[in-house]
Amino acid sequence: MSQFKQLTEKFWASPQIDVADVETAKAEGFTHIICNRPDSEAPDQPSAAEIGAAARQLGMGFSEVPVSSAGFSLPQVDAMQDALAKGGDKVLGYCRSGTRSTLLWAMVQAKAGADLDDIEQKASAAGYSTSAIRPTMEMLAKGG
């Protein structure tokens, strides 16, 4: 079972989840799941289609915004922003470790004008760091 790590009242990040974790997420009140991990990154990883089908079967929303080792792009930030906007009151983002989900969330927050130090504090409290993307967050905060 995965560990869901709270960043805000509405967003949690998690390492890779499986179908049983989708059921746990539903029981814990999550309304939407966002997959930030590309399929086939690891041989034993459940596909986004499997997780998405399990989420939809339980009446939850599901979005895919995969981030590969190539890094982040502005279209991914925009897609994450859209997924968060339609996600409802409690959204779970997952990838291999939860880091990509957290960093995409952080870039969305920066683009929306949130305080960068506050974003870092929330990420840090959940066990993640935004220091590697701080320059990107600063650029997004300035409308870049």
Per-residue confidence in pLDDT tens, the chain, 144 aa: 469 999 999 999 999 999 999 999 999 999 999 999 999 899 899 999 999 999 999 999 999 999 988 889 999 999 999 999 998 899 999 999 999 999 999 999 999 999 999 999 999 999 999 999 999 999 999 986
Q: CB under 8 Å to 44, separation ≥6 — which residues?
A: none
- Whole-prediction pTM value? 0.95
Residue 2 confidence (pLDDT)? 61
Residue 70 confidence (pLDDT)? 82
Q: SS3 letters for 61-113?
A: EEEECCCCCCCCCHHHHHHHHHHHHHCCCCEEEECCCCHHHHHHHHHHHHHCC
Quickly name the fold that domain 5-141 has. Protein-Tyrosine Phosphatase; Chain A (3.90.190)
Domains of the chain, by residue range, sit at 5-141
